[in-house]
Amino acid sequence: MVMGNSQIWAPWIIDDIHAKAELGRYRIRGFSSFQKVTHFDDLVFLSTGLTRFPLEGYRESCNTRTVIGSRFAKEPLVLETPIYITGMSYGALSRNAKVALARAATKVGTATCTGDGGMLPDEREAAQKLIYQVLPSRYGFNPHHLMRADAAEIVVGQGAKPGTGGLLMGIKVLDHIAQMRDLPVGIDQRSPTRHPDWLGPDDLGIKIEQLREATDWRVPISVKLGACRVADDVKLAAKAGADAIVIDSMLAGTGASAEVLLDHSGIPTVPAIVLAREALRELGLYGKVSLIASGGIRSGADAAKALALGADAVAIGIAALIALNCNKEIPGADFEKEVGVKAGYCHHCQTGRCPVGITTQDPELEKRLDPEEGAERVANFINSMTMEMALLTRSLGKGDVHSLEPEDLAALTIEASAMARVPLAGTKKVFGM
Amino acid sequence: MVDLDASTLSTTDLNRRIKELAGNGVDEIRVLNPQARHNIAVGILAPCKITIEGSVGYYAASLMDGPEVTIRGNAGWALGENLMSGKIVLTRDAGASVASSIRGGEVFVSGNAGARAGISMKGGSLIIRGNAGFLTGFMMQKGKIIICGDVGEAVGDSMYEGAIYVAGKIGSLGSDAKITEVTEDELISVWETLERYGIIESVRGGQGRERVERHKDRYAFTKIVSAKRLYHFDSLERLEKRVI
């Protein structure tokens, strides 16, 4: 045995201790959890054979239209695909990145979401459908913007940092960001995690009613939860009157989070969806309250499996940024010089030195992202994902992505079987049941 | 003036009527029999005068921009939440989180206020004639809070900017809050605000220092601001030192 092979004292553990010994505080980074956990790769679809027949995979129509929030809202969100872009703040992201994502969403008939920094006018203009987040910080929150939103999302928790508020390091809190958030320029912003005006689930019900009154019951109101005590949280949010519930798993992305929260809190996306589905079913609200899954959705296959497990839609964050060129060597960028690592290894969004102009407020770096070209790439990516979903759905003999169900899946590991509540491949056994 | 009897309207219909009247330029609207209901006068974005004759529940006069609202009674949580501009006068006590996240305008509480008064304020003014509860001014970002009575534990916890003026006893200071000297101009400004609401008798007469000297013992205030020790992490990672 050699030192480098130790499971307990692995080289990166030793490096982590060295770093904290210098730093004297918890470490902060961007991207997502690096833990090895059960994910959609541990599930496979059981396509058709003789027991049922397929639809022509390359030809026949397959519905991907998705309606979110029809429980109480007069104007639910109608999307052409069950994939939309999750909330990422203007501040964590550059203006060009926010505008590119908004234009991409519009191109493919889906929605994007504001994030913890208020509504950027250019984003509102570019997005045909925009979800306005109501966060504990209320940075830049404006009732006029609420009235212009197509949906409102009350953020209770984020998967990358459940039980904690957002972080934006001082290098990104430049004049324009500080002004929008009413903060001193250059501070290391640590957002609150408790809402200022409500605390418990009964209060949340009144808060939801307030937003409905302000918007005349027009737009859907969703509640976003970090996936921890999923069953109870989902029941409480549904009882509070949410039109939709977003379950953001431990695999969700972030521009900056304490590493200890990224890797050591929350549960993966697969069990989170199942627990949420069952919680809604117990209340008789499955199919009435829309369920949205987010965290580690990378492809049409991931999205299709999320829908098969019970989600109505998925929200993507990191995948959309990668489509924008995150972690890609592009002309003018020098990853090793600018963020100290090669392209493909960067998770340094918190530094504000993004070599491809996405997670930066530096005007020179931001120029490296052309909003129109970026929008085209993200739109292509979402279209690709949607086509992948449709292809899988037809191979299962179904003409609507919302007809996918757990019965279409098998698990490749015992853990996945237990978490997804589907049989282990080659057996009839659902583990843990 | 138009009277609306809340006892004959659902909350939604009541709010719709208020918005409709305010949007049509009606100057004064009176709401009768509010029955301490939640979410009365929410999302009014046109200037008008609204008088609510009785107590209200949570979120009264919230998400507003422009109106002047008088409430003759008590209010539940989050009175005036996210006010952009305008004025709210409450004749009795306020529950928790009064004036939370307001970005402008003025909120006056004639009685006492509960916990977290002025939490997350981003501008504007909150004036409390009586006492205020714990965590008053929590994570306040801008604006001014004046408390004529006592304030509870952890006042000004983690505040960024803005100022809290307290005439009575202070339960304790919150994390990163500190007491600092009140300037003459600030003291006179606080007094003038209180005069407007008839809380103190006129302190007119005299100029500057003379005026302050004459009244300062009678109308003394302690000023609380951010110590700014939480503004920054005090260390950077190796890589951050290199690239930032």
**DSSP per residue, B107-153:** EEESS-B-TTTTTT-EEEEEEESS-B-TTTTTT--EEEEEESS-B-T
> How far apart, in whole angstroms, are the C-alpha atoms of residue A89 and residue A168?
10
pLDDT number for residue A1: 63
Residue that is last in its domain, among B66, B92, B118: B92
Q: Please count the residues of chain B.
A: 244
Residues B138 and B235 in one domain: yes
Nearest Cα neighbor of B39 from A211, A144, A72, A240 is A211
CA–CA distance, B210 with B203 (Å, rounded to integer): 11
**Domain annotation covers residue B204:** no
Q: What is the pLDDT of residue B205?
A: 65
Q: Which residues of A touch B58 (CB under 8 A)?
A: 198, 203, 206, 210
Half-sphere exposure (Cβ direction) of A32: Cα atoms closer than 13 Å:
25
Do B139 and B115 reside in the same domain of the chain?
yes
The reply to whether B111 and B52 lie within a common domain is no
Residues B108 and B167 in one domain: yes
Cα–Cα distance, A371 to A431 (Å, whole number): 47
pLDDT < 50 stretches in chain B? none
Q: Give the three-state DSSP class for A246.
A: strand
Q: Which residue of A has its CA nearest to B20?
A: A216
Neighbours of B7 (CB within 10 A): 10
Say if B203 falls within a structural domain.
no
Non-local (6+) Cβ contacts of A115 within 8 A are A87, A88, A89, A90, A91, A92, A93, A133
CA A279/CA A116 separation, integer angstroms = 28
Same domain? For B146 and B50 the reply is no
> Distance (Å, rounded) from C-alpha A259 to C-alpha A274?
26
Angle of CA points A219, A225, A228, to nearest 5°: 160
A180 and chain B in contact, CB less than 8 A: no
A93, burial (CB in 10 Å: exposed 0-12, middle 13-18, buried 19+)? buried
Are the C-beta atoms of B3 and B22 separated by less than 8 Å?
Answer: no
Residues B123 and B237 in one domain: yes
Residue closest to A111 by CA, chosen among A268, A290, A309: A290
CA dihedral A240, A246, A252, A257 (to 10 degrees): -30
Residue B107 lies in a domain: yes
Whether residue A182 lies within 8 A of chain B, CB to CB, comes out as yes
Kindly report the average pLDDT of chain B as a whole number: 95
Domain identity same for B125 and B168:
yes
Tell me the CA end-to-end span of chain B in Å, nearest whole number: 61
In this complex, the residue of A143, A190, A196 whose CB is nearest that of residue B63 is: A143
Q: Which residues of A touch B59 (CB under 8 A)?
A: 197, 206-207, 210
Best probe of the B interface among A16, A213, A217, by most B CBs < 10 A, is A213
> Quick one: B177 and B149 in the same domain?
yes
Last residue of a domain, one of B92, B115, B138: B92
Domain count within chain B? 2
Contacts of A424 (CB under 8 A, 6+ apart): A410, A411, A412, A413, A414, A416, A417, A430, A431
What is the complex's ipTM, to 2 decimals?
Answer: 0.96
Please report, as a single letter, which amino acid is at residue A246: V
Task: Point out the residue among B100, B235, B239 whose CB comes nearest to the CB of A197.
Answer: B100
Residue ranges in chain A whose pLDDT is less than 70:
1
Nearest CA among B46, B108, B43, B119 for reference residue B75: B108
B121-126 LR contacts (CB < 8 Å, sep 24+): B121/B145, B121/B162, B122/A138, B122/A182, B123/A182, B124/B83, B124/B99, B125/B193, B126/B98, B126/B99, B126/B102
Assessment of whether the complete model's pTM goes beyond 0.95:
yes
Last residue of a domain, one of B73, B92, B111: B92
Q: Which residue type does A233 have?
A: D
Record: contact A170-B238, CB cut-off 8 A: no
Give the distance from CA A420 to its chain's centroid: 19
Same domain, B67 and B176: no
> Which residues of chain A lie closer than 8 angstroms to B230, CB-CB?
190
Taking the C-alpha atoms of residue B215 and residue A88, their distance in angstroms, rounded to an integer, is: 52
Closest CB from B64, B139, B240 relative to A351: B240
Please give the pLDDT value at position B50. Answer: 98
Nearest to A416 by CA among A159, A40, A47, A46: A40
Containing structural domain, residue B56:
1-92
- Residue B167, CA atoms < 13 Å, CB-side half-sphere: 20
Residue B198 in domain:
no
B111, B226: one domain: yes
**Residue B196 within a domain:** no
Beta-carbon contacts of residue A400 (< 8 Å; ≥ 6 apart): A62, A63, A393
Question: Angle formed by the axes of helices A269-283 and A300-309, to 10°?
Answer: 30
Classify residue B187: in a domain, yes or no.
no
Given a contact cutoff of 8 angstroms between Cβ atoms, the answer to whether A218 and A150 are in contact is no
* Residue B237 placed within a domain: yes
Q: CB of A302 within 8 A of CB of A279?
A: no
In a domain, B134, yes or no: yes
Name which of B14, B59, B77 to mutate to probe chain A: the one with the most chain A Cβ atoms within 10 A of its Cβ.
B59
- A216 and A148 in contact (C-beta within 8 Å)? no
When CB atoms are compared, the residue of B45, B63, B139 closest to A192 is B139
Query: What domains can you pick out in chain A, each with its CATH number?
Result: 27-420 (3.20.20.70)
Count of alpha carbons within 13 angstroms of residue A263, beta-carbon side: 11
Same-domain pairing of B104 and B13: no
> Are B73 and B109 in a shared domain?
no
